[in-house]
Amino acid sequence: MLNLLNPLIKILFVILQIVFLFFFHNDLLLISVLIILALSLTMYPKYLLAVANTILRISPLLLSIFLMGYIFGNSWHKDLMIIGSVAIMISYTVVLVRSTSAFSFLAQFHKMIPLKIRNSATIFLYGIIRFLPIIYHEYSHTIRLYKYHIKGKIGLNEISELFPIIVNRSLKKVHGCSATAEVLFNSELACSFHVIDLLLPALLLMQIGLILL
């Protein structure tokens, strides 16, 4: 069900959940944020594994927050609240990323942009989204090949020499992907409304009602 929701509404919803989490000290509101997250993870156990893996990777950061609070004499209850809030924020972000495809997001974004800059703005955003994974792949691949050929470790001087080549290859791939995306946006992808898209706005109205109580 999460995959069918409007990606722009999902992004706005997650941003507001994070705002509620950090800026509104309302017990009922906090419980609603936790219940929505728990239901999402219960419905999609694969997202629960991704969340656990992500939180495990940032566990040194969470531990450092607790240690810094201990060193400066902060209340451990307050530190645990901060750690819990960060963990919940990360969990919502992971669920959002896992349940939203780049193409569905860009298809919705494409329809909202003024006609004069629609294609260029969409392709520019698509290039940004694709650039980081591409440059990471190119970097890893180039370093592995270099290590294989020199049969040894690679230093900072070698990396600095290889970096322009990596960036150039990445930009060429992004340009090729952008050309493909333009064809897809103009032909296959369409923006449509589903009744299920009303679910998140309804939940937000309920949460706003809890704030006003």
Residue 121's pLDDT band (cuts 50, 70, 90)? confident
Q: Is the pLDDT of residue 184 over 70?
A: no
Q: Specify whether the CB–CB gap between 185 and 106 falls below 8 A.
A: yes
Q: How long is the chain?
A: 213
- Residues near 24 by beta carbon (within 8 Å), at least 6 away in sequence: 211
Secondary structure, 3-state, 67-123? HHHHHCCCCHHHHHHHHHHHHHHHHHHHHHHHHCCHHHHHHHHHHHCCHHHHHHHHH
* Per-residue model confidence (pLDDT) at position 35: 93
Q: Is the pLDDT of residue 169 over 90?
A: no
* Per-residue model confidence (pLDDT) at position 188: 46
What global pTM score does this model have?
A: 0.68
pLDDT average, residue stretch 174-189: 57
pLDDT average, residue stretch 40-51: 88
H or E, element range at 156: helix 156-187
* Per-residue model confidence (pLDDT) at position 150: 67
Q: At residue 76, what are phi and psi to the nearest 5 degrees? A: -70, -25
Of the two residues 210 and 161, the one the predictor is more confident about is 210
pLDDT in tens, 188-205: 445 555 667 788 889 999
* Per-residue model confidence (pLDDT) at position 186: 57
What are the structure tokens assigned to 132, written together? 């980081």
Q: Is the pLDDT of residue 41 over 80?
A: yes
pLDDT average, residue stretch 150-162: 69
pLDDT in tens, 56-87: 888 888 888 888 887 888 787 888 888 888 99
pLDDT average, residue stretch 109-136: 70
Q: Is the pLDDT of residue 18 over 80?
A: yes
Of the two residues 142 and 207, the one the predictor is more confident about is 207
CA distance 91 to 87: 6
Q: Is the pLDDT of residue 102 over 80?
A: no
Question: How high does pLDDT run on average in the chain?
Answer: 78
Residue 91's pLDDT band (cuts 50, 70, 90)? very high
pLDDT average, residue stretch 145-157: 68
